Every structure is written in structure tokens, then in C-alpha cells.
Structure 1
Amino acid sequence: MTLMLGLDLTDRSVLAVGGGPVSARRVQDFVTAGARVHLVAPYACEDLTDLAASGQITWSVRDTAPSDLDDVWLVHTATGDTETDTRVRELCDSRKIWCVDATDAEATRVRVPARREVDSPDGPIQIAVLAGDPGRSRTIATGLRDHIVSGQVDLRRQRSRPVVAARAPGWVSLVGGGPGDDGLLTERARVVLRAADVVVFDRLAPQQVMRSLPDTVELIDVGKTPGRHPVPQHQINQILVDQAMAGKAVVRLKGGDPYVLGRGGEERLACEAAGVRVEVVPGVTSAIAVPAAAGIPVTHRGIASGFSVVTGHDEIPRLPNGPDHTVVVLMGVSTLDRTAELLVAHGRAAGTPVAVIERGCTPDQRVVIGTLDDIAVRARIAEVSSPAVTVVGEVVSLAH
């Protein structure tokens, strides 16, 4: 029967016997764990010589001797020679030192599990599996990791002990939820969401993702609709800070990418100014993904060699006017008349193709196509509503 334990090897002496690839993999693990590693081998592979040359391990170029075990906490032997590895293991047994014999899986008293790691906001999650056969162990460990990153495991901190909970610092993660299809949510976003106590969201957040959250997650709706801003940005910033300062794990879930017209930069600065730990999880931006879902590439050889992304909530600035430059407008359905007028005033031809893509990357996606001269009328007739992305340029001719 094997009991799985976690060893803190920080500043502990570890002896590695053997200089081949098997030894190299384990030595790198020991170094990463903070151990002081002494390698004993008459030769060593390149990975080990590099570690020795950089001063991360010490290397004695010789065969092992009993004195090498002095003051050692753990030994790993992987010479590939059964007689040598058996001798090292038996010597360790006689001195009550734990030894991993990589040559003899049956005889060794220490077995190294297949390991995988998931980085969560509250620290790394280590997965270790011992299932007899090493290949089977690796397969199971990988499957467990994939299960976690798929967002199906609750990773929230348990708060049954108030004293412990009070000591746990809160954090904020600004998560890009992508353009609408929850299949475009990143693995990192799924992990962070499953660790959240609070999710601050708006109408652009992926609704299927919202529905999958545990009932015990607190949801704070700061949604903005055209012409109505129920929660000003400075108040959203304060909500994030206050929740994190209360020791909670906070996710600010946005549509698209938080740094593409999502005001994520302002929220990050507000958190940092308050001393709150904050991370940014990039998302698939709607500026590129939504046009792509309608068959429109924002650049295309021979048609468009560049593109600009602007918000329809503000006055459209002067942009490159050539037919080889695409303009993508986010959040501009209610101001489509003014947007088209300004683009023409800035030099765009009135006959420039335009596509308005409503609810892109979802089953409800609709596309309305026209020109700068008539797109606002066409969109009104079709009763297009937000969220929608507008694409201006010759690439619209490639739409499905």
C-alpha cells in the first residue's frame, strides 16, 4: 500500500545518481522544488550539464560512494544498471533514507506519481496519480487536469472556518468572455470562474457561461444598454475593490477581450491603486471573431491590408480612408446614422460596403448588409439591436 504525501524539499539535500534523461527529468523537478541537488555520475546528458554549468546543481564526475549519502534527505537513482541502482537503494534502506529506484518499480519504496498542475488564482493545484502502470497514470492525470480546466470543478476557497477565511486575501480577475459562443472561452477563464465567489457581469457576458455558475456564486449585474448606464464605471471599479478587500475572489466577466474597448485598463489601475491583486485573462475579441463568424476577414490579401477598431459610442475619429483599410465599429447600433455620416465626411465613399452583425457567434446571429449610404435604414428596417458589430470595407463582399 502506497501513501501519497507532499514533500517540501526547499533547501533540503537531494542526491541524484545517474546522468541520463530519466535522471534529468527528476533532477529538474527537484530544482524547481527548491532542493539542493548533488548529482553523482561519471557522465551526464546535456540537460544535466546545463544545470551544473548554471550552478543550479553540483556534479561529481565519478561513481557513487557511501559518503554521498551523508546529510541527504532523499535519493533518486537511475543509472540504468540494475546492480548499481540496487546497491544504492539497499544502502539507503540501511541508513533509513528514502530512495527512488527508477530501474526497479517493484522493489523501490518510493514511487513518483504522474503529475499535472493547474494554475488557479489561489495558487497551483497539483494533481498526482499512482495507477500501477506509468502510462495509465499519465493518462488519468491528464484527464483530471482537463476536467478541471473545462470548468466542471468548483475551485472556490472553502470558508467554513471564519478565522482562516479572514486571512485569505481577495483578488480580482478581469476575464474576457469572448464573442458569445462559450466554446470560445479560454481554459484559463474557465479555471478562474470556477474559483470565483463573486462574478461582476454585464449583458455582453456569455450567457451560457453565466448559467453554468454554481447557485452560491454571488452575481452583480452592472449591465449597460444603449442610452442607459445604470452603474457608472467609477462605481464598477469600486465594486471590484470593495469585494476583493472583503476577502472575496472576484471575476469581472466581459464580452470579447477586456482590453479592447472594454475599459479593462481602468479597472486594473483601480485595483492596483487599492492594493488589490489583479490579473487579466485575455479573451477572443469580438472585433475579429464576429466578422469571421459572418465569413468576413478583417484583412484579406489583395483587398484589405489593415484594420481599425473603434467604438460607436464616441465620435468616429479620422481613420485611413483607402479601400484597403477595414473599419470595425463596436457598440454602435444606436449611432449608426452618425457613424456612416462621419466616415463619408472623412473621405470614405458612400458606396463602401457595410455589414452589421447582430449577436455574432451565437445561434441567433443575423447579418444585414448595405453601404454607408443606406446601412442605417436597412438596420432599422431589420430591427437590429445590440450587441452588434459593424464592419466597413471591401472585405464585406466576402461575407457568407
Structure 2
Amino acid sequence: MPESSGNDPSRDEDPAATHMVASASTASIISITSEMSVAEKDRLPLASHLAKAAQTGASNFVLAYNVRAGIALLSRIVQLIQNRKFRDLVNLNSLLSEKHLNFRVEAVSMGLFIGCFTGGYEALQAVLRKLRPDLPAATRTVVSGIVAGSGILCLNPSRRRSLALYTFVRALQSVYNIAKARKLWHFWGSHWPHGDALLFGVASAQVFAFILRPEILPKEYFSFIHRAGPVAMRVLQFTQRTLRGAAVEPADVIRFLDDKASPVVYNIAHNHPESLPCSLIHHGSASCTLGFGMTFWKAARRTFPLYLSLNIVPRVVLDLHRFVKAYVVITFIHGHGWYKSYRGRPVTTVLKGTWGGVRSTAFLGTFVALYQATVCVQKLMFRSDSKATYFVAELALYVLPRALDLLYITLRDKRVLAEMAYGEVMLFACSMGTLMFCFEVHQDLDDD
């Protein structure tokens, strides 16, 4: 598998970065909707509301920028430690070089997006409350959420689609939870213990649908899977050719193994094998068991810097005033129980973030290693590769929300539907309107 580039180590992990955007946005939404009661909001003049909205947008811009910058910096530090380049840690030119920390444009666009949405939402709520006091709160919330959702235009177009789909799923989840809580409607089996894990297992099959059709996945998504997964690009190509009945030249396979200095011996002499050996996937070792461990370690080593950053930086930046306050208290009462205070806030924050990073890394490493183990078992049980093995993954591509996305693409390509300019912006805006309605109007309902 190719090594990751020397650029920002957190840049290629687009799904995680998208989740971070949504998490920061959620934190900001909560902060602006829970500070004042409805009566307090009604007493303030419109100018005060607009000034407060501008302040909210500006502060959330700074928070989002700092979160993105902090993630990039911490990922760079962990990467240097992993590579044993300790001198670069104290060399600011190397540590903070644009070559390795290429995050500024993305951080600014992310800050503008979150700032525009949170500040715009609060401003629109105030304007509608003053100009149309007879408007129901639910309608005012939905309209404000939809209009403020246009702030997604501040993001790069390549990120809008993923974030819109992610938000759409959250909106569907919120509506479903409300309907279920009110006993209006629910899915069969939704009350099962660990049903969420079962749903994740079924939906995750789409992750490896790239075995047959890698072009159907977004470029960043495919890149993330390829870097974290156990399948090398050449092995992926060999597998695709085998499943399609094309020739796989033994010389090409042997050359690949030689390039990787692999101990695996390829013994198939003809160019139309029924099945490729699973040892091509774990080509670092001929043993499936040892290959399982090597795959886990490789996936964990590649993703730990990102997950550590995602778990620590938002905790510190989004609650910076408490973190700094605890540090000042430590300095002031040095010699009078300072260890207890120090342990109570900054150290606890870092330890919780580190533990979260370890858990996330262990999850992804286990997920990838179990996928490889499943392939090894399938190779032992069946003599030939079958498309049925990957058919479940292909079907899983049609779960929501990816199903709607692919259905639209298919109908558009067949000229059944016309191209919809800024369709992802409209989807995101409507989804945010739904989310804000669920948050503002149905705060009393617990998430099932």
C-alpha cells in the first residue's frame, strides 16, 4: 500500500474530518440555543440580538479555525514522534511548514461555514421574532435553519456533498426518534438489543464495495479506505480482473511480491485462476494469523494521529476557558493542594481524549483486521472467488443516504432527471431546518 503523503496528515481522512465539522457545528448550535430563555429573548431589542448574533458567529469562527489548526498540529507532532524525528519537534520551520500543515484555507472555510450558520441562525430567529411575532416557533425555527444552512456555500464543493449526506442522515434519525417516541411509527426490530451495531455491520459492507466498483465512491472516501484498509492497489486490481474473468499474469503477481519483499510464494502457473490466495492481501507474511496482527497494527499506526487529534483538540478548544482557568488556579495555589486541582481538569481532559483516541483506533484496526480474516476464511472454504461474496457490499451501497445519491446520479446519467445546481446546498439547508426544529421544539424527547 502506498505511504501517505507528506502533507497535512489529517487531510486525507475526509470522513473523519466531515464528522468533526458536524460535531463542532452541533456544539455551537447548543451554545446559541440554550443561553437565554424565550422571555429574555423577547425583552431584548433587535439591535442587541443582531450584535449578539455577530458575536456568536465571530467566536464560533475562531473556535472552528482553532479546532482545525489544532488537529493538524497535533497530528503532525504525533507523526514526527512515530517517525522518531525528535529534532523536528523543536524546529519550528519543520514543525509548522506549509508543506506539512496545509490546513489554512480549509480552516478558514470551515470557520466561515460554522460562523455563518450559527450567527445567521440566531440573527434570523431574532428578525422573525420581531417582525412576525405571530409566527409559530416551530415555523420560525425551520425557516431560520433552512436559510442559515446556506452557509455551507463557504465550504469547498467537494466537501459539501459528504456533509449534506451526513446531515441528511441525522435529520432522518431525529424525525424517526420523534415518531418512535410518540408511538407513531418505527422499524421492525428497532427495539432489539445492540440493533445499532447490527445496522452498522450491514451498512459497513458498502465500505468495501470498492472491490468491484471503486469509481462509484467519492475520491476522498476511496482514499481513506485504501489507506486504512489491508488491500494494496495492485491486489485490488488483480481481484477485479479475476472476478470479471480477465487474465491475471503470474509474472505480474510475482513482480508485485518481489517489489514488496514478500515471503509469499505464488504457485499458480496459468493466467486465469479460480481464486487468488489470501496471502496476497497480507503479503507481509504467509501466515493468516500473523497477517491479522500486522494488518491491525498497520491500520492503527496510520490512524492513531488523526483520532488522537479529533478526541483531544475539540475538548480543549471548545472548552478553553475552563482549561485555562484550571491552569491559572494551579499556578496560584502551588504548594497548597495543586496536584489535586491539576488532575481535576487539564490532565483529565487530556486523558479522556487520549482514551477516546485509543478506543477509536482500536475499533478501526479491529474492523479492518476482521475484514481480512473474513476473506481468509472465505478463501479456505471456497475454491473460487464469487461475486456473491461482494454482492452484499454492492447491495449495501443502496442504504440511505448513499442510495438516494446514487439513484439520482443514475437517473441523471440516463437523462431522466435534469442536473440540479447546488442540490447538495438545498439538501443540507432542508436537513438543518429539520434538525433545528427537532432540537428546539422536541428537546424533551430522549434519543432512543
For normalisation by structure 1, the TM-score amounts to: 0.23
For normalisation by structure 2, the TM-score amounts to: 0.22
RCO greater where, 1 or 2, for CA within 8 Å and sep 6 or more?
2
Larger radius of gyration: 1
More strand by share: 1
More helix by share: 2
